Chain A
Amino acid sequence: MMYQKGEILLSAKGVGLSFKREDGNVSTIFKDINFDIHDIVRPGEITGQVLSLVGRSGIGKTTMIRLLAGLPIKHSTVTGTVLINNPQMPVNPGDMGIVPQNYYLPASMSIQKILAIAAYNNKAYKYDKKTIDDSVTEYLSAFSLGEQKDKLPSQLSGGQRQRAAIACQLLYGSNFLLMDEPFSGLDPLMVDTTLDLLSKVSKINELKTIIIISHDLRNACAISDTVLVLSQKGRKPEEGATIVKQIDLAEMGLAWEPRVKEMPLFLDVIRDIKALL
């Protein structure tokens, strides 16, 4: 499939994270994380970027989300920088959207109210109530949440809460969406729905970039154009985890393929990744 790599949208340069332990020693979680995310351009199509950062459970993937999003991590020492946009600027809290694993939403508000609050700070809406309300209605419909608009988050299913959490971040307007274990706890049918939804979200605009952080290799890779393998295998404990391999699925002809999960090459890639973890 024809594609080109354009400008750099996100660049992680020498990113590392460590904590000072109570015994005075330093515990390194990540070290020398380096990668770039380019704008992928396909003629005649709007193509966002979907990158998967895969690794074993407990390696610090959720911490990595906070690190990439520029959110503070208590009692830690962060090295390196994460740059975003063009011209490249260091990431600040609020520049990237996060959809956490448990799809947190404020418990006391209705879904419609939550979406309106999410849209409130979107500069494109200029704090205009009608524009915000119209957009919220549009997203409620697009994310099949119209009937749930007056319900509280605790009255929604896991899949509905996930859709609402994604809709929140999209309404705020950030081009970067970090997803923490988006397939965790979903039944096989819901996983397909989520894959479909993420694929649609990535096609909203050229610069839309989804970063999936997951230990579910098969599903994460099935939707991605690039895979980063985060591992500590073969490294000393004090060195922490790092990106041991970057796989360009687009180059291998494995991106944007609806039946990619059944392709032998895809299965080989999954096997290779497992060997690296």
Chain B
Amino acid sequence: MSSNHTLKMIKKLFTPFAFTSKEVYAWSSAVWLMIFLLVWYNAPVLIPSPSEMVNRFTEFVIDPDFWFDVLSSLMVTVFGMFISIVTSCIIAFLTTLPAFKPLKTLPVLRFMSMAGFIFMFTLLFHSAYYVKIALLMLGIVPFFILTLTSSIAEIPQEEFDFWTTLGYSPWKQLYYIVVFGRLEVVFKTIKANFAIAWIMIGYIETYSMADGGIGVLLFKANGKTQIDKVLALQLFVLILGALSDYCLGQLRLGLFPHIALTEKK
């Protein structure tokens, strides 16, 4: 590679919106990884080294009790997500009816703190599991409703005109355009908000520790200043979250092949 070519490539790397090859992308990723590891190895003594973190990570993975906590967190997250998306869809679809339009203001609830509801939910549900589900719903339903109602508001007029001119009633239009037609948006919403739910569950589990969970492990490790354990748990949370995100993305593409043609990568 000539020095002229290398200079050109470096210049390109610092030019806004410039197109680069996959090879250049791989090289720049490798450089960033090296910078990250360099900073980590030279970090203050308090922060454990990558090898210490990997050792703790391996200990967790081979411990059967750890998987009980993972399962507990996953069950709450998946069930909480399911019930939240069903509730949000019903509310969002209902906002197409003038009588239910005021429900569009529900997303304002996302500014409320969950902490204030713990005692109330404990009195209401008497079960740590349902308290966690209720807190998760309170945390993510407003975000779901906001995304879904925004996608409904963005439906172009010609989409309604198409179905109207083919003799479809407003109720059938609701089904074809909003319920069936925006199913992929529902999946997109799940995918986009799964990370929020996954992060939220860590906090929620510390409010109600009875059933264990990754959040409880993190809370305890933090309390004992076992930073190597905290980082190992964070790595696990990151891997599981990224894996779920990938699977949801692939599922969405499989179920709605048209989005692969219309969405920019």
A contact residues vs B (CB 8 Å cutoff): 66, 69, 71, 93-94, 96-98, 100, 102, 104-108, 117-118, 120-121, 152, 154-155, 168-169, 172, 174
Residues of A within 8 A of B161 (CB): 66, 69, 71, 98, 100, 104
Q: Which of B158, B181, B256, B262 contacts A104 (CB 8 A)?
A: B158
Q: Say yes or no: A174-B165 contact (C-beta < 8 A), given A104-B158, A152-B257, A155-B261.
A: yes
Residues of A within 8 A of B159 (CB): 104, 106
Q: Say yes or no: A71-B164 contact (C-beta < 8 A), given A104-B158, A104-B159, A108-B181.
A: yes
Find out whether the CB atom of B181 lies under 8 angstroms from the CB atom of A154.
no
Query: Which are the 7 A-B pairs with shortest beta-carbon distances?
Result: A121-B167, A104-B158, A154-B261, A94-B167, A100-B158, A152-B258, A93-B164
Closest-CB distance, B152 to chain A (whole angstroms): 16
CA distance A100 to B158 in the complex (A): 7
Find out whether the CB atom of B258 lies under 8 angstroms from the CB atom of A154.
yes
CA distance A102 to B159 in the complex (A): 11
CA distance A10 to B207 in the complex (A): 69
Find out whether the CB atom of A121 lies under 8 angstroms from the CB atom of B164.
no
Residues of B within 8 A of A108 (CB): 181, 184, 256, 258
Find out whether the CB atom of A98 lies under 8 angstroms from the CB atom of B261.
no
Judged by a CB distance under 8 angstroms, whether B35 is at the interface is no
Nearest chain B residue, comparing its CB with the CB of A119: B166
Find out whether the CB atom of B261 lies under 8 angstroms from the CB atom of A172.
no
Judged by a CB distance under 8 angstroms, whether B156 is at the interface is yes
Nearest chain B residue, comparing its CB with the CB of A73: B157
**Besides the known contacts A94-B166, A98-B165, 13 further A-B residue pairs in the complex with CB atoms under 8 A apart:** A69-B165, A93-B164, A96-B165, A100-B161, A104-B156, A104-B158, A107-B262, A121-B166, A121-B168, A154-B258, A169-B165, A169-B166, A174-B165
Closest-CB distance, B218 to chain A (whole angstroms): 41
Closest-CB distance, B57 to chain A (whole angstroms): 42
Q: Which of B166, B184, B256, B262 contacts A168 (CB 8 A)?
A: B166
Contact with A along B163-177 (1 / 0, CB 8 A): 011111000000010
Judged by a CB distance under 8 angstroms, whether B162 is at the interface is yes
Closest-CB distance, B1 to chain A (whole angstroms): 40
Closest-CB distance, A82 to chain B (whole angstroms): 15
Can you list 30 contacts pairing A with B, beta carbon distance less than 8 Å? A66-B161, A69-B165, A71-B161, A93-B165, A94-B164, A94-B168, A97-B166, A98-B162, A100-B158, A100-B162, A102-B158, A104-B159, A104-B161, A104-B162, A106-B159, A106-B162, A106-B176, A106-B181, A107-B258, A107-B262, A108-B184, A120-B166, A121-B168, A152-B257, A152-B258, A154-B258, A168-B166, A169-B165, A169-B166, A174-B165
Find out whether the CB atom of B164 lies under 8 angstroms from the CB atom of A172.
no
Nearest chain B residue, comparing its CB with the CB of A121: B167
Q: Which of B158, B166, B257, B258 contacts A118 (CB 8 A)?
A: B166
Closest-CB distance, B138 to chain A (whole angstroms): 32
Nearest chain B residue, comparing its CB with the CB of A109: B258
Of listed A66, A98, A155, A174, residue having the most chain B CB within 10 A: A98
Closest-CB distance, A210 to chain B (whole angstroms): 14
Residues of B within 8 A of A96 (CB): 165
Closest-CB distance, B162 to chain A (whole angstroms): 5
CA distance A108 to B183 in the complex (A): 10
Residues of A within 8 A of B158 (CB): 100, 102, 104
CA distance A117 to B256 in the complex (A): 19
CA distance A97 to B166 in the complex (A): 7
Q: Which of A152, A155, A172 contacts B167 (CB 8 A)?
A: A172
Closest-CB distance, A254 to chain B (whole angstroms): 30
Give the residues from 159 to 211 in chain B that come closer than 8 angstroms, CB to CB, to chain A: 159, 161-162, 164-168, 176, 181, 184
